[in-house]
Amino acid sequence: MLEPGTIVHQHYKIIQRLGESKGKGVETYLAKNLKLSPPDRCVIKRLILLHGYEQRKTVRRLFLKEVEVLKNLGQHPQIPKLIDFFEENQDSFLVLEYIKGHELVQELSPKKIWPEVQVMKLLNEVLQVLSFVHDSQIIHRDIKPENLIRQTPENLLCLIDFGSVKEVTTSITNEQGEIISTVRIGTWGYMPKEQASGTPYFSSDLYAVGMIAVQALTGLHPLDLHPHPRTLEIMWRERAKVSEKFANFIDKMIRFDFRHRYRSAREALQDLSALS
């Protein structure tokens, strides 16, 4: 772990560690970018690569590929920009824009029920950003309230912490450095069955967004809701005051079978716009 005050790559001064950095092999820090005058805050992700020589070559290739992905995604104003990337002491580092604000989870108080119109506005915000991500052929894989930041003073929702970064450090390789599998990425309650099994789709992200909407409408965490014993669909409607059309829209986002969900954020956004 990097201690506060540590200087990384001669330009970045560690302020503090952020959270517990649940992703295996990933540590996240708040830091100061000393290259700027005055120094500005940034986020540093340290990717700890515990592999042999051949495996490290493969993981390094994945890391550099991920850098290109983050460069592209950072073109959107509601996704953190990639500021820098480098390797030091056999670890790889990403330096990302710091988004000042608060996590959406702070707005989703237990038992606080949002009105339908407010949830529709939330979905519109998230799906707008996610459409850009899906159009870029990227699956986020860890959408949850903690990874949506309400930026101040702009009051925009920003999407952070892409699961593909975690994949770089959780890829399992053989002795030849060939990737044979990756560790599951996601968060229980917001992660559908196919993603938990290691096969995420664009619709897996939509399941997560739909579960955030259900959480807002019911005041209940997804883990406090239960599937129907026969259909395995989440039973939530009786806990919410919601119109039939909007409930049907959300149901299509959170279907148990990914083939019955919306195929992409843009497709879902089109139907949401028709409801407004």
pLDDT tens per residue across all 276 residues of the chain: 899 999 999 999 999 999 764 545 788 999 999 999 888 999 999 887 665 656 667 667 777 887 888 999 999 999 999 999 998 988 889 999 999 999 999 999 888 999 999 999 999 999 999 999 999 999 999 999 999 999 999 999 999 988 665 554 454 444 444 444 455 688 999 999 999 998 999 999 999 999 999 999 999 999 999 999 999 999 999 999 999 999 999 999 999 999 999 999 999 999 999 997
Q: Does domain 101-275 have CATH number 1.10.10.10?
A: no
Q: What are the sequence ranges of the domains in the chain?
A: 7-97, 101-275
Choose the catalytic residue: 40, 84, 142, 251.
142
Vertex 170 angle, CA 166 and 172, to 5°: 150
What architecture is domain 7-97?
2-Layer Sandwich (3.30)
CA pair distance 150, 39, nearest whole angstrom? 23
* Active-site annotation holds for 142: yes
CA pair distance 107, 154, nearest whole angstrom? 16
- The pTM score is 0.89
